[in-house]
Amino acid sequence: MKIFQKYNVFVLIVFFVAINVHSQTTRAVQQTKLKTEVKKNKKNKKKKTKISKIDLSHWKVTLPVANDKGKPIELESPEILDYATNEKVKPYFYNDSTDGSIVFYAFPNTTTANTKYSRSELREQMVPGDNNTNWTFEQGGRMKGKLAIEEVTKDADGKYHRVIIMQIHGRLTNEQKELIGAKDNNAPPILKIYWDKGKIRVKTKVLKNKSVNNTAILLDDAWDDDEGYNFPTEVGFRKFTLEVKVEKGKMVIILNNSEYAVYEGIDINRWNIFENYFKAGNYFQSKDEGSYAKVKYYELEVSH
């Protein structure tokens, strides 16, 4: 009888110890799960709160859709600062809160004067809201951006469509415009930087006649395209940095802080006759039906 009682007591003790261990183990598992969920929630909250740090106060954006007058929608400062809540703008120029980038979306649609392609692109304004204050190579300038191609369609041959991602555009002063009888202040772009089938391609301008006079040099016909240059590195769809630095008689383009394209000589020297402004974004080089591209800018800065 005593042996039986001792056995029962032993069984009860083992039973309660087992329950206690199971309970502690369960609580430990639950606490671990809770900590994991808290960490996940914190990470998700961090991802959701990323916003762009790009200062847009000295930029104007042109979009690939038309306003009431049939011209591309444009926003300059201060309206551009509210782009994230502007319903007309949001489909084509918007934040990606997962990585803090601004997305430029363009497809064949409304174009600006003197062009055949559409764009979602920024145009520098040294004085916010004013296109008439620009800079010369002698005054100098620098633009640097971190960006990536997010999506781009292919043509009928299976090749990716090209996108112009940065530019330096020339501009006639009002006096130069009157001198040559031009219909507007538009001058050729001295620099176009393309994303071209995964590589970065640079195109610039050269004089047809190196000794052309200072009036004829203002005409588009005085200039021709150069042969172009491809940086060796293929950036594909990865992030990369592009920097453009100009001074009188010199223009330098730098890829990923390690590869350089340097332009000097009479063509660059004589370009100092023009005013200029920087451009950045997505100037989409296709008119194919259903084609489009998305370009992401993570950083963009300009100085003079």
151-160, Cβ contacts within 8 angstroms, sequence gap of 24 or more: 151/292, 151/293, 151/294, 152/195, 152/292, 152/293, 152/294, 153/286, 153/288, 153/290, 153/291, 153/292, 153/293, 155/286, 155/288, 155/291, 156/288, 159/197, 160/197, 160/198
Predicted structure pTM score? 0.85
In the predicted structure, residue 139 carries a pLDDT above the cut 70:
yes
- Tell me the pLDDT band of 46, cut-offs 50, 70 and 90: low
Architecture of domain 52-303: Sandwich (2.60)
In the chain, where the domains are located? 1-49, 52-303
Burial 190-215 (b: 16+ CB within 10 A, else e): bbbbbbbeeebbbbbbebeeeebeee
Question: 169-192 pLDDT, tens per residue?
Answer: 999 999 999 999 999 999 999 999
Cβ atoms 233, 242 nearer than 8 A: no
What would the two tokens of residue 180 be? Answer: 């040559």
Say how many C-beta atoms besides its own lie within 10 A of residue 248's C-beta. 13
Question: 246-276 pLDDT, tens per residue?
Answer: 999 999 999 999 999 999 999 999 999 999 9
The sheet that has 293-303: what strands, in order across it?
93-96, 101-106, 293-303, 141-152, 240-247, 250-255, 259-264
Cβ atoms 250, 264 nearer than 8 A: yes
Q: What sign has the CA pseudo-torsion 117, 120, 125, 131?
A: positive
Half-sphere exposure of 105 (CA within 13 A, CB side): 11
